[in-house]
Chain A
Amino acid sequence: MQATKSRPALRWLIPAAATVLVIGGGAAVGTFAASADPSLPPRSAAQLLVDLQTARLDGLSGTVVQTSDLGLPSLPNLGGGSGSADVMSLITGDNTLRVWYSGPDKARVALMGTLGETDMIRNGSDVWLWESKANKATHSKLSGTEAGQQHTLPNGVPSTPQEAADQALAAIDPTTEVTTSGTARVAGRDAYELVLRPRDTASLVGQVRIAIDATEHVPLRFEVLAKDSDKAAFEVAFTQVDFDRPDDQQFEFNPPPGAKVEESTELSAEQKAQQAEKAHNDGDLTTVGEGWTMVAVSKAGGAPASPEEEDATGLLKALPEVSGAWGKGHLLTGTVFSVLVTDDGRILAGLVSPERLYEVAATKAGK
């Protein structure tokens, strides 16, 4: 103190030091959490795959953060911003979800908005969808055949690293190179990293990385990286996870008084399958190619029927127009996928560059 009394300017060293401490401290915590590679006994990719398939999960609770940087044009109509608890918002921006899991028939996923929440609660054969903003609860009952299935948020976007990893692993085939890139730390836990790489370089996907918990063998992080990029285009990761079985109370849902309660007339699994088949035949959905460079071709055609479809047409007009030997249309490009909508009503989509879509569009299979 004596020095600061005789030379007052020295006192400014204290706020300066505080600033350095705060900024440096924050940065140090960030890099430490990100880069500290735990030393774990080596495990091969094949062993990790077996681990994943044999993992028995009793229960967990945690926070999942999902980030998408798909390089989509930021159209105002494309769902809400980062703050809304809208299910549509899952496809754009960042989202935080809280998950609780206690066996296959007890699960809860809560999508957090700034001051709102959308909950999907599965308890036995009861499924509730709760939307706080609308003050609405939707109930549906699962029939016997569906009772064993996992339930996801209604738009099919994976809400946990587990779901995302399941979808990716189902797609493993000879076109995929499976390796391991060592270890990582996710949500304060040690993990192994499994890397899936498309053998076909025409795909826009560079690699898919799955971090697997070293002791529980559960996916903790799932990342999709575009080719020539080290930043994830899509990521679902736990920021906090606890493998204790959550309290049963967490899966009980009683619609609060005053809320709108709807009984969902959701179709049973068989009806859904039939309908999907019908749509397949009607819409003429075909695929060209295999594995990572597969292109889906759909001939939707016809005039827009519902208001939503008209909205979609409006959105379409905002996309850049492209043309070639195959005709004319609009193109949507992201970092890991492209969609081409031609003026004659065809939709081509795939994890490939636009050039590949043009190629397919010009061939007989794409017509």
Chain B
Amino acid sequence: MSAVDAPAFFVSELRLVSRRRRNQAGLAVLAAVPIIIAVAMKVAAPSSSSSSQGPEFFGSITSNGYFVALAALAVEIQLLLPIAVATIAGDSVAGEANQGTLRYLLTVPVDRTRLLAVKFAAIVVGAFVATMTVATAGLLAGWALFGAGPVTLLSGSQASVGGSLLRLLAMCAYLTVCLAALGAIGLFVSTLTEQPMGATIAITIIAVTSWVLGAVPQLDWLHPYLLTNSWTAFGELMRSPIAWEPLRDGLLSAAAYMLIFLSAAWARFTTADVSS
């Protein structure tokens, strides 16, 4: 089918994504948030240590640095992580079309389906790197300022350091799948336009709108169908025993979104006239 072998193509795509200045800056911002959270909690610790209010997991930070990673994930999944995925996904096809490199890419006899698959794989890797960056930065900042140790789970029992790290890895994997569903929508949007910024903004708006609709109790009939509905279910991994049902529902929902939008992206991209 093609003269270029897929692994080499995938590697070059990853290199392209990782070398972009805006992506590097984006990662730095993602990593900065947990550090800011940890420092702020350290500075404010004496006065607010007793408060159980504030965003999720914040109350537990002072007792264990591990919770900085969870708090950062809980905060960033609302906006910053979707923006990171939207940037990569919006850029994937529209960016090449915008720079005029897409037609050169297509003159290399590479199958368009395979090209799209590589683009999506790069988005998924990007999403995983983004969540892992947040978790790792949070973990290191938290451990440095508040110390490590066995983690108290939501159910009141304790998990060992190793067990809690496994849970954190599973959370990152789960959030990667969730974000990959957004990435699939993004890939489709990206095939519709030649303006990468427009695509990125549209994808961000989709994620934000989904969060907003999910916060309106009068629309509860709509909630199960929303893209972001099960994203906060990553917290289920902090129970003992783990509540798998919400996680399974989240993965099924993400798979449904991916099926629809990847096939739509395929239908669009393989039939579109590439002029630039």
Contacts and interface: CB of A to CB of B under 8 A. Distances in A.
Contacts, number: 92
B56 A11 contact: no
B200 interface: no
Interface string A104-140: 0000001010111101000000001010111101000
A342 interface: no
B259 A98 contact: no
Contact of A9 (B59, B158, B263, B271): B271
A133 B51 CA distance: 10
B60 A135 contact: yes
Interface in A214-267: 239-240, 250, 253-259
A275 interface: no
A134 B63 CA distance: 13
Contact of A132 (B64, B155, B270): B155
A128 B152 CA distance: 16
Given A18-B259, A133-B59, A135-B52, A116 B152 contact: no
A15 B264 contact: yes
Contacts of A114: 56, 232, 235
Contacts of B239: 110, 112, 117
Interface residues on chain A, size class: 35 or more
Contacts of B271: 8-9, 11
B217 A14 contact: no
Contacts of A240: 245
A335 interface: no
Contact of B267 (A11, A82, A135, A256): A11
Contact of B243 (A22, A112, A254, A256): A112
Contacts of B154: 115-117, 132
Nearest to A63: B245
A222 to B, nearest CB: 21
B156 interface: yes
Contacts of B155: 110, 117, 119, 130, 132
Nearest to A130: B156
Interface residues of B, number: 33
Nearest to B51: A134
Nearest to A12: B267
Interface string A8-32: 1101101100110110001000000
A22 B56 CA distance: 33
A256 B149 CA distance: 12
Given A11-B267, A11-B270, A82 B217 contact: yes
A22 B156 contact: no
A254 to B, nearest CB: 8
Contacts of B157: 253-254, 256
A248 B270 CA distance: 58
A18 B263 contact: yes
A81 interface: yes
Contacts of A271: none
Given A117-B239, A240-B245, A253 B56 contact: no
A137 B152 CA distance: 12
Q: For chain B, what secondary structure do more than half of its interface residues adopt (helix, strand, loop), or is it mixed?
A: helix
B172 to A, nearest CB: 16
A19 B60 contact: no
A58 B146 CA distance: 45
B232 A115 contact: yes
A74 interface: yes
B257 to A, nearest CB: 8
A257 B153 CA distance: 12
B217 A18 contact: no
Contacts of B270: 8, 11
B201 to A, nearest CB: 23
A65 to B, nearest CB: 10
A348 to B, nearest CB: 30
B191 to A, nearest CB: 12
A15 B152 contact: no
Nearest to A258: B63
B125 interface: no
Contact of B217 (A9, A15, A81, A135): A81
A58 B80 CA distance: 49
Nearest to B239: A117
B260 A15 contact: yes
Q: Give the one of A116, A253, A256 with max B CB within 10 A.
A: A256
B156 A134 contact: no
A292 to B, nearest CB: 30
A80 to B, nearest CB: 11
Contacts of B266: 11, 14-15
A239 B245 CA distance: 10
A134 B52 contact: yes
Nearest to B70: A115
Contacts of B264: 12, 15, 18
A98 B243 CA distance: 9
A5 to B, nearest CB: 9
Given A12-B267, A116-B56, A256 B232 contact: no
B238 to A, nearest CB: 8
Contacts of B241: 250
Given A8-B270, A115-B154, A133-B52, 17 more contacts: A11-B267, A14-B263, A14-B266, A15-B263, A15-B264, A18-B259, A18-B263, A19-B260, A22-B260, A63-B243, A112-B239, A114-B232, A115-B235, A119-B155, A134-B52, A253-B157, A254-B157
Name the 8 nearest CB pairs between A and B, nearest first: A8-B271, A15-B264, A256-B152, A115-B56, A115-B235, A130-B156, A11-B267, A15-B263
8 contacts: A15-B264, A18-B264, A82-B220, A112-B243, A137-B156, A255-B156, A256-B156, A259-B156
